[in-house]
A = this chain, B = another copy of it.
Amino acid sequence: MNQEDTSQATRIQVIDRAASLLDAIARYPDPVSLKILAAETGLNVSTAHRILASLIQNRFVEKDAASHYRLGLRLLQLGVRLHGNVDVRAIARPIMEDLRDRFGESVNLTIREGDSVVYIEKATPNRMIHVQQLIGARAPLHVTAVGKLMLGAAGEDAIRAYAQRTNLPAYTRNTITTLPGLIAECGQALARGYALDNEEAEMDVGCIGVLIHDGTGNVSAGLSVSAPIARRRLEWVEDLMEAGRTLSAQLGYSVQAVF
């Protein structure tokens, strides 16, 4: 009598519903009415109302004078406390700002989650035209510079498994969609220490990415510059790699292991 369960495990209905309400609210830039939220989530109005009331009590949601709902501050409070990443972000910020000023382009910090990279921090320049990435946004590994490095670091078997799972969907006509092509690209990128994204995620956008390692030697994040393809300069590679080394060092990474 229920819809197919996305992942077969035992789900908790209310939590799934609460999550979809939060998503629905997030989708709108302005506070949203109960009516709309109920419609968007397919919930009965009274159910939606009750769940929202509970979310309000827990400060995940706020309600304004007109009974319109918006996200609550508890989310911010929890969001900035994300394990470990909080350190990377704090440490990375000055470095990112420096790069942004040097290049005059957007600099992003990403981490891997599943088969995606997630943007966790950004520094954007004051130019009219620059590449904008929303914090929390995601992109598949094989269409981003940092993602390809992460795949390379994960090894050939992992790349095969990734390709199998995702089928390497194309985002632009430059997206790498063949397994041999991806393996070659990731390996090469890893070997030279940086990766390029030549309009593979979006036309007219080019990136350069490097990996960040933490104290235990694991890949903990990725640092990248994104620019309109015509403005991207390969001269940035050196600065970017240097910044990556600095950041990794500040996280306790020592390069010795390589030799």
**Inter-chain contact A7/B57, CB cutoff 8 Å:** yes
User: Which of B31, B71, B73, B84 makes the CB contact (< 8 A) with A81?
Assistant: B71
**Inter-chain contact B78/A15, CB cutoff 8 Å:** no
The complex places the Cα of A55 from the Cα of B18 at a distance, in Å, of: 11
Interface string of A51-90 (1 = CB under 8 A from B): 1011101101010000000111111111111111100000
Oligomer copy total: 2
A77 and chain B: residue at smallest CB distance: B136
User: Which of B15, B60, B97, B118 makes the CB contact (< 8 A) with A54?
Assistant: B15
**Inter-chain contact B71/A11, CB cutoff 8 Å:** no
> In the complex, what residues of B have CB within 8 A of residue A22's CB?
78
**Inter-chain contact A58/B16, CB cutoff 8 Å:** yes
The complex places the Cα of A53 from the Cα of B79 at a distance, in Å, of: 19
> In the complex, what residues of B have CB within 8 A of residue A184's CB?
none
A118 and chain B: residue at smallest CB distance: B73
A9, CB-defined interface residue at 8 Å = yes
**Inter-chain contact B78/A26, CB cutoff 8 Å:** yes
A70 and chain B: residue at smallest CB distance: B83
A255, CB-defined interface residue at 8 Å = no
The minimal Cβ–Cβ distance linking A121 to chain B, given in whole angstroms, is: 10
The complex places the Cα of A15 from the Cα of B126 at a distance, in Å, of: 42
**A 183-210 contacts with B by CB, 8 A:** none
A1, CB-defined interface residue at 8 Å = no
**Inter-chain contact B15/A76, CB cutoff 8 Å:** no
A7 and chain B: residue at smallest CB distance: B57
- Given contacts A15-B58, A26-B77, A80-B136, list 13 more A-B pairs with CB under 8 A: A6-B57, A10-B50, A12-B50, A14-B14, A19-B58, A71-B78, A71-B79, A72-B82, A75-B79, A76-B135, A76-B136, A78-B79, A94-B126
